[in-house]
Structure 1
Amino acid sequence: MTALGFLHPGHSAEDDYQRIEQLLGTDIRLDLEKSSADRLTAGVEALRLSGAEAVVWASTSSSFGYGWEGAHDQVRTLALAAGLPASSTSFAFVHAVRELGVRRVAIGATYPADVAERFAEFLRAAGIEVTGVHAAGVATRAEVGEWGPQEVTSLAEKASATPAEALLLPDTALHTASHITTLEKHLEKPVLTANQVSVWEALRLTTRKVNAPSLGTLFTRKSVVQATSSPSGV
């Protein structure tokens, strides 16, 4: 059994992790603890006692919002507190893009425009070209959590208006686990979503490779991205 720990801001799309656990169909357990950006270490002890082998801060905006260096500091603090490899959803996107071997991506964000642009800046700091950013301007996680397949597909289509090798949907409040393969077939390109890449990142940190086509192109890659030797795993 491989146990993976996630600190989650709560209130929306937690059930995506239950769905992903089912789709993995292996001896992998996903454990969630509610947390916030200013109290990240609070839930670490519970995850460590549950047997977690790695910890991911499963929030995108509350990691890239600190900037490239600040996000590194955040994860480093988390790793030291947990005594485990650690990362965040923002870095998960960077590593997933590199795993796919693509350089040009489009962003479909539920966020206000200024927040979505900060995510684009974070990706650019990692050397990733952002061809376009579509921001839906939704103010709350609760509203995003109520979106269904129609709204998710509309967001993806609007974001794909600019040429890109992959599409990124960065909000962890967005339910996407059941829609990834449908979106990829519709858009004819890899789709990376926040909860999907968070789980993939935790697996990366444990060097565990899982083939799960129902979770999209990212989970069908033959190569494996190894965790680094740094305390943060980033």
Structure 2
Amino acid sequence: MTPGGARNHTWPPAVGFLYPGHSAEDDYPRLEALLGCAARLPVVHTDIGEDAHRVDALLEMGSAERLAAGVAGLKRRGARAVVWACTSGSFVFGWDGAHAQVRALAEASRLPASSTSFAFVHAVRALRVARVAVAATYPEDVAAHFTSFLEAAGAEVVAMRGSGVVTAAEVATWGREDVLALARAGDHPDAEAVLIPDTALHTAAWLPELEAAVGKPVLTANQVTVWEGLRLLGRSVTGPALGALSA
């Protein structure tokens, strides 16, 4: 007990997420519950601008000014690290540009920082796989930017599937069967893992089912984003919560 009679609680550390707009942000409290007491996962919403999976709109959505505007909210909630929870709004900047984006976020927050695109790269390396398939919700031209980003990181993309969905709002309506179908359609016999980008897509409830459906590791955007945040905190989780990534 403290001198004033209040009980002294030790809260788990927090990693903060800057999330564009409102789509599948409920994956984060779901994943926080699955993680138990490993970490708190506060989310601050950034201004999405135009909801469009189009390169010019994505570059604006991921601008340094939009991200910096959300930093104070995360720090008030005790974040010790910050992740830009958006795949397309990071990889469209290219390998060097995405690094510059994260550096600017780290400078604005004075915290360790990363993004979902780098989360995918680090997760692929953690799984020690070389050949991957991309099953994307995006139009194919946007998905091709993700492929180029992965290849710049040293991964071999053996297959890429774009679904042609233009808005995050539409992606957010996809349910279990849609997500399972996307994983199956995007898989390839030569792929050692299937990557499903887009943090607007709900996946947290179906991670074991996704891996069972294709018989190999599946990495999804919100899954790897949370894993990346834990990595920045120097924490890891074992068990089924994050699929093969936490095995």
Same fold per TM (> 0.5)?
yes
Quick one: distance in 2 between partners of 1:69 and 1:18? Answer: 32
**1:129-168 aligned within 5 A:** 129-168=156-195
Give how far 1:2 is off. Answer: 1.3
The normalised TM-score by structure 1 is 0.92
Larger Rg: 2
Quick one: distance in 2 between partners of 1:45 and 1:214? Answer: 29
Q: What SS does structure 2 have at the residue aligned with 1:196?
A: helix
Give how far 1:182 is off. Answer: 0.6
Structure 1 position 186 matched with structure 2 position 197: no
Q: What SS does structure 1 have at the residue aligned with 2:44?
A: strand
Point out where structure 2 has 5 or more consecutive residues left out of the alignment. Answer: 1-11, 47-60
Structure 1 position 29 matched with structure 2 position 51: no
The answer on whether the counterparts of 1:131 and 1:162 sit within 8 Å (CA) in structure 2 is: no
The answer on whether the counterparts of 1:132 and 1:162 sit within 8 Å (CA) in structure 2 is: no
Question: Which position in structure 1 is the counterpart of 2:106?
Answer: 79
Question: Which position in structure 1 is the counterpart of 2:143?
Answer: 116
Quick one: distance in 2 between partners of 1:214 and 1:53? Answer: 22
Point out where structure 1 has 5 or more consecutive residues left out of the alignment. Answer: 221-234
Percent identity over the alignment? 59
Q: What SS does structure 2 have at the residue aligned with 1:179?
A: helix
Query: Among residues 53, 74, 84, which one is paired with 1:47 in the alignment?
Result: 74
* Superposed CA RMSD: 0.9
Structure 1 position 12 matched with structure 2 position 37: no
> How many residues align structurally?
220
Quick one: distance in 1 between partners of 2:77 and 2:243? Answer: 28
The normalised TM-score by structure 2 is 0.87
What amino acid sits opposite 1:148 in the alignment? Answer: G
The answer on whether the counterparts of 1:87 and 1:201 sit within 8 Å (CA) in structure 2 is: yes
Give how far 1:214 is off. Answer: 2.8
Give how far 1:46 is off. Answer: 1.3
Q: Deviations over 1:48-102 (max 9, x none)?
A: 1211111000000000000000000000000011010000000000000000000
Give how far 1:161 is off. Answer: 3.4
- Runs of 4+ aligned structure 1 residues displaced above 3 Å come to none
